[in-house]
Structure formats: C-alpha cells, structure tokens
C-alpha cells in the first residue's frame, strides 16, 4: 500500500503570539519550532519518500528542510492547494480579539457557511485541498510514500475528506504543530472506485514514522489484526 504522510508545520512566531497568520509572508518558526523541525530528522528518519510536497509558506518549508537536507531524495515541491487559509482582513489579528467577533461562533459551529471578510470560504478551501489530494492519490504507485507539509486547518480538511466528514464536523479534529498523520491508499478491483483510503494515524507527536507505517492492512470486519503502528 501507498502512504500519504501529512505533517503540520512546527510552532511559528504567530502560533506563539496567538496571532492568525494566514497567508501573510515572513512568518517563521520560533525557537520551539526550530527544535521541533530538527526532531523530524529522526521522527521521519530514512523512510523512502518519493515526493515531498509543501505549502509555499515559509514556516512549512522551514519545518521540512532539516529532514529533507538529511534524507530527502527529490526536490521540495510547492503546491498552492495546501497553502494556509486566506483569512482576509482577519489575517494578522489576535485570536483573543477575533473570538469576540460574531462570525467566530459560526466558524466553530457551521464553518461550511463561512467566508472570511475579504478572504476565502471554508468550502473553497475544502475544494482545493480535495483537488490536490485527488491528484496525488491518482498518481500513487504501490508502496510509494509521499509527504505533504501544511497547516492545521488544511490538514483537518484533508482528513475530513478521507473520512467523508462534512465540513461542519472538521473542527472536531485536532492537529498539533509538528504532528504527523498518515493516510494509507490501496488499489482495489472496483472499476468505479479504484483506490481505497483509510486514516491509520492522526496527530502523532512522538512515535517514529517507521513504526507508524508498520500497519500493513486497512481494517475490515472485526477491526483487523491490530499488529501495526503505535509506540
């Protein structure tokens, strides 16, 4: 089976300051974030990765660069489908101030109906993330591993797509900085649905990737053997 490895960027200066960074340029990792990025060298390790795909934003590139410098075999591909949300006029504002806005409750409870002021809608985000994932999945070969480095909400939307969750449920997911989530992709004999996908790990912050990738089956009736993954 092939694997898509979703990596959220490490802690940024905006995360530390409680600011909504969005697509603003020049947001770097903070000291904790740089340490987390260095930690990915061992956490991802020498696993064979055919493609390393990243949001174009600096904090994502900084996150994967230490691992890529040590073990990467191909270029870092920049993909706009996985860029952070365009929060429009909310960009750069304190989260504590935004939480007082009337739209904030709608963002939490019914994000499918939200378009950020002068920015992007959650539906548009979901559509571009889905398109990006579909293109990657359609081109995956057996046993191929692909890394995607992106942002919290974008990874949550990607997982929502894999799980067939409606957009209004995606806020129930939690994706921490420098966490790893894994989607397995399996070819099927079904002509209409040639690929089967399953989320086998989410929001892992310490387990080495080699251990996470050990799961060799997609759970069926009865839940499978349970002999893969975990610490």
Ranges of each domain in the chain? 2-212
pLDDT digits (tens, 9 = 90+) for 38-55: 999 999 999 999 999 999
Give the pLDDT mean for 153-177: 95
Read off the pTM.
Answer: 0.89
Structure tokens at 70: 């040590």
The more confident residue out of 125 and 221 is: 125
Please determine, looking at this structure, whether the domain spanning 2-212 carries the CATH number 3.40.50.1240: yes
pLDDT, residue 219, reads 43
Q: What are phi and psi of 115, to 5 degrees?
A: -120, 125
Helix (H) or strand (E) holding 210: helix 209-212
Q: In what order do the strands lie in the sheet with 51-54?
A: 76-78, 51-54, 145-150, 2-8, 180-187, 195-204
């Amino acid at each position: 089976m092939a694997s898509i490895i979703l990596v959220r960027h490490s802690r940024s200066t905006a995360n530390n300051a409680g600011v909504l960074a969005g697509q603003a340029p020049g947001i770097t990792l903070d000291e904790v974030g740089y340490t987390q990025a260095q930690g990915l060298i061992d956490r991802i390790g020498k696993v064979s990765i055919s493609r390393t795909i990243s949001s174009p934003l600096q904090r994502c590139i900084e996150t994967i660069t230490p691992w890529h410098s040590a073990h990467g075999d191909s270029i870092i591909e920049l993909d706009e489908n996985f860029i952070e949300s365009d929060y429009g006029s909310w960009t750069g504002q304190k989260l504590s101030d935004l939480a007082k806005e009337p739209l904030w409750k709608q963002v939490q409870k019914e994000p499918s109906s939200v378009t950020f002021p002068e920015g992007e809608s959650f539906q548009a985000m979901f559509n571009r993330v889905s398109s990006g994932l579909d293109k990657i999945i359609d081109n995956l070969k057996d046993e191929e591993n692909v890394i995607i480095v992106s942002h919290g909400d974008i990874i949550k939307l990607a997982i929502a797509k894999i799980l067939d969750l409606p957009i209004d449920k995606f806020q129930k997911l939690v994706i921490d900085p420098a966490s790893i989530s894994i989607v397995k992709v399996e070819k099927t004999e079904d002509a209409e649905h040639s690929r089967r996908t399953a989320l086998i790990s989410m929001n892992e912050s310490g387990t080495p990737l080699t251990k996470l990738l050990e799961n060799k089956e997609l759970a069926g009736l009865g839940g499978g053997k349970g002999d893969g993954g975990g610490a």
